[in-house]
Chains A and B, each alone.
Chain A
């Protein structure tokens, strides 16, 4: 199906394997070390919330847009949250224009699940008229440069964007029509979530794989953890397998390392944090 990558040269493969076997990486990192992370919020003026995230050379932009629409019939008093991912052709020679393929659908759904199951957004507070009108929060991920580990970069970006999202107040008129006001209020947020993605190379797990590592990895393993230290979502990917020890090790390490990631988020609704 959609194999996203190139056939690696033997010399490159050997280099990565040898590095990993000796406890280091081709870019000099430790096995359980993230690349440098940079988060800018309020990056897109026209979006209700936005973030630009760099994870090493990987770059993603997330914009949050708000609209008003009907709720789902089974949750009449809750707002909606929709995540979509676009792999734009600027990002990689392997991305082509066109409708989302299975890779971008998987990315969007994994990011969505982490945020949904950590209850990041207080969707009950996004109800305008029960059963009729609720706020819908759209988070659109645009991958600008693909240098590996889109999952963690995208989760950081979507959560950062949500933390700085301000949504317009509305007034319910007589007869049930809704008027959108100029005044805005912060998106009600309950919790934060981060994801940590591991790549299994040979028999060794490495955190935050770069493009070269992803290109030769056997299995991918993403763990999403909320601010209270609960595991909220997991996704194994790629044709490869994990042993019970692999799973236990990566969960244990992820729980430890996640604490550092939470410090990177923008502090609530303060604006314009350059570097």
Chain B
């Protein structure tokens, strides 16, 4: 890959946005943000802004795609045309088709699809603004949306990218680090079960560097997992308050 022309780590060991090598960007998670979806979530991670919506389990069309013993999971990852510097054509790119597949395969091991034969669970992910690490943030948001929809799951799925910039292993890459760095490893796992469900890598790493990166990634994912649980809890605390105060205007 192109070796970085820009300096990604300064003399104090800090990154372009002032973070330490193992520091996450500020993450905001919100659950149940859409009125129509069965489940939904919003994630802001750095400048990433992503919405995930879940519809289903529901009847599947076309019917011939249905499986007799379980639901199928469909996943659509799309970037808004204005989410990146150069306008992105709204038509699905090869990248979006691959990422839709990868994200689906990251979520699928966590869901009890066998509880809903012949049906479909649709996960729609819309990236409103992209700032590096969108596929991982998408997985984090989508698994929250699935939980919000009340779909039985083995665990949540949380994602985070790790990588290498100026020879240093770093966590949660931002846009410049993603583009100019020497390696990018998007990963996602079921945090309680310690099972990796998404793992990709591009770049140039020795075995030692790779092992270090995975270790840092797991730590980052555990932090994100705690934020996910907190976001879910907050939603229900809010409902509780509304019920107790007597002005429950929910649907």
Query: Are A and B a genuine interacting pair, yes or no?
Result: yes
Q: Tell me, in angstroms, the Cα distance from A237 to B109 when the chains sit together.
A: 12
Find the B residue at minimum CB distance from A246: B196
Give which listed residue, A105, A116, A231, A244, contacts B94 with CB less than 8 A: A105
Q: Tell me, in angstroms, the Cα distance from A226 to B102 when the chains sit together.
A: 24
Query: For residue B202, which residues in chain A have a CB less than 8 angstroms away from its CB?
Result: 113, 116-117, 232-233
Find the A residue at minimum CB distance from B218: A244
Query: For residue A252, which residues in chain B have a CB less than 8 angstroms away from its CB?
Result: 207
For window 179-211 of chain B, which residues contact chain A by CB distance below 8 Å? 185, 189-190, 193-207, 210-211
Query: For residue A233, which residues in chain B have a CB less than 8 angstroms away from its CB?
Result: 200-203
Per-position contact with A for B1-18: 1 when CB-CB < 8 Å, else 0?
Answer: 110000000000000000
Q: Does A93 contact B (CB under 8 A)?
A: no
Q: A243-B195, A255-B207 are in contact. Are A236 and B98 (CB under 8 A)?
A: no
CB distance from A141 to the nearest CB of B (A): 14
Per-position contact with A for B102-143: 1 when CB-CB < 8 Å, else 0?
Answer: 101100110000000000000000000000000000000000
Q: Tell me, in angstroms, the Cα distance from A60 to B144 when the chains sit together.
A: 41
Q: Does B52 contact A (CB under 8 A)?
A: no
Would A231 and B98 count as touching, CB distance under 8 A?
A: no
Query: For residue B47, which residues in chain A have a CB less than 8 angstroms away from its CB?
Result: none
Per-position contact with A for B168-188: 1 when CB-CB < 8 Å, else 0?
Answer: 000000000000000001000
Per-position contact with B for A240-262: 1 when CB-CB < 8 Å, else 0?
Answer: 11111011100110010000000
Would A242 and B98 count as touching, CB distance under 8 A?
A: no
Interface size class of B (residues with CB under 8 A): 35 or more
Query: For residue A105, which residues in chain B have a CB less than 8 angstroms away from its CB?
Result: 94, 97-98
Give which listed residue, A1, A103, A244, contacts B194 with CB less than 8 A: A244
Q: A117-B203, A230-B205 are in contact. Are A237 and B105 (CB under 8 A)?
A: yes
CB distance from A59 to the nearest CB of B (A): 24
Q: Does B74 contact A (CB under 8 A)?
A: yes
CB distance from A241 to the nearest CB of B (A): 4
Query: For residue A237, which residues in chain B have a CB less than 8 angstroms away from its CB?
Result: 101-102, 105
CB distance from B125 to the nearest CB of A (A): 15
Q: A239-B105, A239-B108 are in contact. Are A231 and B196 (CB under 8 A)?
A: no
CB distance from A114 to the nearest CB of B (A): 9
Q: Tell me, in angstroms, the Cα distance from A155 to B104 when the chains sit together.
A: 25
Would B195 and A242 count as touching, CB distance under 8 A?
A: yes
Would B197 and A241 count as touching, CB distance under 8 A?
A: yes
Would A231 and B206 count as touching, CB distance under 8 A?
A: yes
Query: For residue B21, which residues in chain A have a CB less than 8 angstroms away from its CB?
Result: none
Query: For residue B73, which residues in chain A have a CB less than 8 angstroms away from its CB?
Result: 239
Would B98 and A116 count as touching, CB distance under 8 A?
A: no
Query: For residue A47, which residues in chain B have a CB less than 8 angstroms away from its CB?
Result: none
Residues of B within 8 A of A (CB): 1-2, 72-74, 94-95, 97-98, 100-102, 104-105, 108-109, 185, 189-190, 193-207, 210-211, 214, 218
Q: Which 8 A-B pairs have the closest CB atoms?
A: A239-B108, A234-B201, A241-B195, A236-B199, A242-B196, A102-B101, A241-B109, A239-B105
